[in-house]
């Protein structure tokens, strides 16, 4: 079994990733995943799911492990020497490590340190989601390096803390999954992941059905229609990264439609939707905000929200035809 490290050494990588420090950056993120996974195994003792009494930029309650994971990622990514800065779902502004132009290619990392963190106290899966973009050599870091469209992503992934912990990592043309073994090392367990083209699972919070645009209502009605030759299952954990992972492996579609209260959608473009869409596209699936692919949206702000549908090719096409 290839370790994550051996896999990185053996993969065919684009010229831009030739410099060794990019892989060090990935190792540092994986290291955070190992540490967060350990902490989660003991969350009941550590009260990691408790609120720390502050709200983040999204006006959401910050939990203890949100903060721990966020700080860990900031520090470990800096250690790699490969990143000029980071942006986090938990922080209002970018965090700059170095504002000076570099003589070699550098990177920025955007992350949701702990997606679905309200699930911690009920022991349901949560995850760390990240994407990495290049800062060309000779350019000093600015906000524009963070606000790049999803099609510019160099690498994206997530670490899912479920019944096992798995790191799923994608670059253009390939997606691979690495299970965290009992010796604390990520090892290749899911080689070259391709998502099924057709599937019969949909994931959505249906409580908002009456506040959705017509196309989403029609699609979900079609899934459950008695005339439908296939019987669909609805599966929704309330942790996007976990719902996404199930659908990636088994096929399915994840929906977070706009509602009358949140007409621009609720999930975050930069920290959740772009990285997961990038992975989905490399695995043969699709994503959309019902106007364009999520990867073609030109981001305007760090904490931009979007509606999203991500999943198997046939199901996205069906949704778009509604």
| Interface residues toward ligand AHM, by CB under 6 A | 60, 112, 115-117, 205, 238-240
CB of 112 to ligand AHM, least distance (A): 5
CA atoms of 166 and 177, how far apart (whole Å): 6
- Residue 238 binding result from Mg ion, ligand AHM, none, given CB thresholds of 5 to 8 Å by partner type: ligand AHM
* Among the listed residues 115, 171, 243, 289, the single contact to Mg ion using CB under 5 A: 115
CB of 234 to ligand AHM, least distance (A): 13
Burial 238-264 (b: 16+ CB within 10 A, else e): ebbbbbbbbbbbebbbbbbbbbeeeee
Secondary structure percentages of the chain, helix, strand, coil, to 5: 35, 25, 40
Of 5 and 304, which has the nearer Cβ to ligand AHM?
Answer: 304
Burial 156-184 (b: 16+ CB within 10 A, else e): bbbbbbbeebbbbbbbeeebbbbebeeee
Quote the tokens at residue 24: 């060090």
Beta pairing, strands 308-311 & 286-288: antiparallel
Of 31, 311, 278, 274, give the one whose Cα is nearest residue 167.
31
- Residue 105 binding result from Mg ion, ligand AHM, none, given CB thresholds of 5 to 8 Å by partner type: none
- Residue 90 binding result from ligand AHM, Mg ion, none, given CB thresholds of 5 to 8 Å by partner type: none
Of 89 and 105, which has the nearer Cβ to ligand AHM?
Answer: 89
Of 91 and 101, which has the nearer Cβ to ligand AHM?
Answer: 91
CB of 105 to Mg ion, least distance (A): 29
Asked if 104 and 83 count as a contact pair (C-beta separation under 8 A), the reply is no
CA atoms of 264 and 274, how far apart (whole Å): 15
CA atoms of 297 and 274, how far apart (whole Å): 9
**Helix or strand holding residue 224 (H, E):** helix 214-224
CB of 129 to ligand AHM, least distance (A): 9
| The one segment of 110-118, 194-202, 244-252, 280-288 that binds Mg ion by CB under 5 A | 110-118
* Among the listed residues 66, 90, 105, 112, the single contact to Mg ion using CB under 5 A: 112
Of 161, 175, 155, 166, give the one whose Cα is nearest residue 17.
155
In the shown chain, the binding pattern of residues 63 to 102 toward Mg ion, with x for contact by CB under 5 A and - for none, equals ----------------------------------------
Asked if 111 and 271 count as a contact pair (C-beta separation under 8 A), the reply is yes
CB of 302 to Mg ion, least distance (A): 14
CB of 115 to Mg ion, least distance (A): 4
Of 117 and 165, which has the nearer Cβ to ligand AHM?
Answer: 117
CB of 68 to ligand AHM, least distance (A): 15
- Residue 205 binding result from Mg ion, ligand AHM, none, given CB thresholds of 5 to 8 Å by partner type: ligand AHM
- Residue 117 binding result from ligand AHM, Mg ion, none, given CB thresholds of 5 to 8 Å by partner type: ligand AHM
């Amino acid at each position: 079994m290839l370790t994550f490290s051996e896999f990185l050494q053996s993969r065919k990588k684009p010229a831009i990733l030739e410099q060794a420090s990019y892989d060090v950056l990935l190792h540092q993120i994986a290291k955070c995943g190992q540490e967060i996974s350990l902490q989660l195994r003991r969350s009941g003792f550590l009260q990691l799911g408790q609120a720390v009494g502050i709200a983040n930029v999204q006006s959401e309650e910050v939990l203890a492990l949100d903060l721990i994971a966020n700080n860990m990622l900031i520090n470990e990514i800096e250690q790699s020497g490969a990143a000029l800065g980071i942006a986090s779902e938990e922080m209002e502004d970018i965090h700059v490590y170095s504002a000076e132009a570099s003589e070699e290619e550098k990177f920025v990392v955007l992350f949701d340190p702990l997606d679905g963190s309200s699930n911690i106290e009920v022991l349901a899966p949560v995850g760390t989601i990240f994407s990495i973009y290049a800062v060309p050599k000779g350019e000093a870091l600015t906000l524009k390096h963070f606000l790049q469209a999803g099609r510019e992503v160099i690498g994206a992934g997530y670490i899912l803390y479920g019944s096992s912990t798995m790191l799923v990592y994608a670059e253009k043309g390939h997606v691979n999954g690495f299970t965290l073994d009992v010796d604390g090392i990520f090892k290749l367990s899911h080689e070259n992941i391709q998502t099924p083209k057709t599937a019969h699972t949909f994931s959505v919070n249906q409580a908002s059905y009456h506040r959705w645009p017509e196309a989403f209502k029609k699609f979900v009605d079609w899934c459950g229609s008695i005339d439908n030759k296939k019987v669909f299952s609805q599966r929704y954990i309330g942790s996007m990264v976990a719902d996404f992972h199930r659908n990636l492996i088994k096929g399915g579609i994840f929906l977070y439609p706009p509602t009358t209260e949140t007409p621009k959608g609720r999930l975050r473009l930069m920290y959740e939707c772009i990285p997961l869409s990038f992975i989905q596209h490399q695995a043969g699936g699709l994503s959309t905000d019902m106007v364009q692919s999520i990867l073609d949206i030109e981001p305007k702000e760090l904490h931009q929200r979007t509606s999203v549908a991500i999943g198997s090719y046939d199901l996205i096409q069906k949704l778009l035809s509604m």
